[in-house]
Amino acid sequence: MKKNILAIVILFALFPIINVNALSCLEGEIDVNKVENFSCSSIEGDKLTFKDNTNGEDYSNYFTYKVENKKATITISKSIKFDASSPNRFIKVSDGTSETVINVKNPVYTTTKSTTTTTTTTTKDVNSKELTVTLDPNDGSEKIIKTCNVVAGNDTCSITLPKLDSVGFNGWGTASTCKEGNSGTIKVDKNITYYACYENNNNETENSPIYLKTLSLTNKDTDEKIDFGTFSIKKTDYEFKVLYDVKNINVSATADENIKIDITGNEELKVGENEIIIKLTDENNKTNEYKLKVIRLKEGETISNIHYLKSLVVGGYNINFAKEKLVYSLTIPNDIDSLEITAIPENDDDTYKVIGKDDLIDGSQIKIVVTGQDGEETTYIINITKESKTNLLLIVAVGLIILLIIILIILIIIKSNKKKKNLNNNGPKVLDKKDSKNNIEVLNI
């Protein structure tokens, strides 16, 4: 026991020394106004901060957390904008014990690492990065999210495009009105959205539905554009919010020449829920409708930029998900290193990515980042605790000790009983009176 206590004391005494060498930042690439491909590695569980030397602005939300080979790696998730007129701009990266200073220059910069007494220069390294491909079925159904990793030294990675069972499906393209597109495996070099292409996208067959070609909305009184999500020709239902100042909406919609467009419900919006109907009618009296559910906010209310999840499932575990609850705690067995996570954004136009679900250790953090069309992100966090092996070993050890004590007690009882039995068999023999008389010895004097 004393040895264990001494070992723990020594471990805590050595921790500051270990932590000094934990932070390691690597030189990346830079253009005039942004940093890219920058990374830092640190001991698991360390919280790194990234601060601007000029005004102390915290850049921590520009970096994401990932665990690889039992080490925490911080990689840049979006571009950091710098003022090119400030040549001495730099970021201080700190883990609370050691600090790295990144000097920003134009067109290059240098990276140096500093501790209490020493300064060293790191070597250049390029980490892999994850790309996200969003596949929109173009019919209002749930989007498909695929990811791939660009490894060091490459510019692209491969994605296998799925085949849809929809009638007229003809591959994937970058335009929502496409009639033919890619299939099989493609290479991508950036985050991108592909739309399902259909042979009858432009009403080529007699029985196919009729669709809008384009749709845009503006405040009729100010001509300011209204964000209602991403338009898809086969998505006919939309829901969005507008400020109190928006009372009349100008609907700009186009379709084929032979299609008549009637718009109702877009003027004199009331506070609360409104519905705009865009009705299409062709020359054969075939119709189709687009429905826009508009929520006009009360005076003084603002549109929230929080992008919620509709559901979050962590395979085999109940986390009591609630969309407005962003932080969760989950205890898992010690031998579990990875979790299957499935999420559905509340807004169909939002995308999401899962960070840190593999190589889990005690203290790991899983992040589910939801990104809206406006570029704003909402992050759900799952803090991981692993069941301690020490408790199991302790229980086993105590059990073995108790078992040994019981066995020892049984052996002592058996030995004691055996000893008593031998004593009874080998003790002095008591003679009866008759024998005593017949065996009197006569002493001669």
Q: Which residues pair with 262 in a beta bridge?
A: 279
pLDDT per residue as tens digits for the range 235-252: 889 989 999 999 999 999
pLDDT per residue as tens digits for the range 358-368: 999 999 999 99
Alpha carbons 365 and 355: distance in angstroms, whole number:
8
Give yes or no for a contact between 136 and 129, defined as CB atoms under 8 angstroms apart: no
Q: Which of 147-151, 207-211, 408-412 is least confident?
A: 207-211
pLDDT at residue 94 greater than cutoff 80: no
Task: Say what the pLDDT of residue 42 is.
Answer: 65
Q: Which of 326-330, 398-402, 439-443 is least confident?
A: 439-443
Task: Say what the pLDDT of residue 287 is.
Answer: 93
Confidence of residue 303 (pLDDT cuts 50, 70, 90): confident
Task: Say what the pLDDT of residue 354 is.
Answer: 94
Confidence of residue 155 (pLDDT cuts 50, 70, 90): confident
Which domains, ranges and CATH numbers included, belong to the chain? 20-121 (2.60.40), 129-198 (no CATH), 214-296 (no CATH), 309-386 (no CATH)
Task: Say what the pLDDT of residue 396 is.
Answer: 78
Torsion of CA 278, 283, 284, 286, to 10 degrees: -10
Residues 434-439 have a mean pLDDT of 50
Residue 414 phi, psi dihedral angles, 5° rounding: -60, -45
Task: Say what the pLDDT of residue 103 is.
Answer: 55
Percent of the chain having pLDDT more than 90?
Answer: 28
Other beta carbons less than 10 A from residue 210's beta carbon: 17
Residues 6+ apart with CB under 8 A from 205: none
pLDDT at residue 194 greater than cutoff 60: yes
Per-chain mean pLDDT for the chain: 75
pLDDT at residue 307 greater than cutoff 70: yes
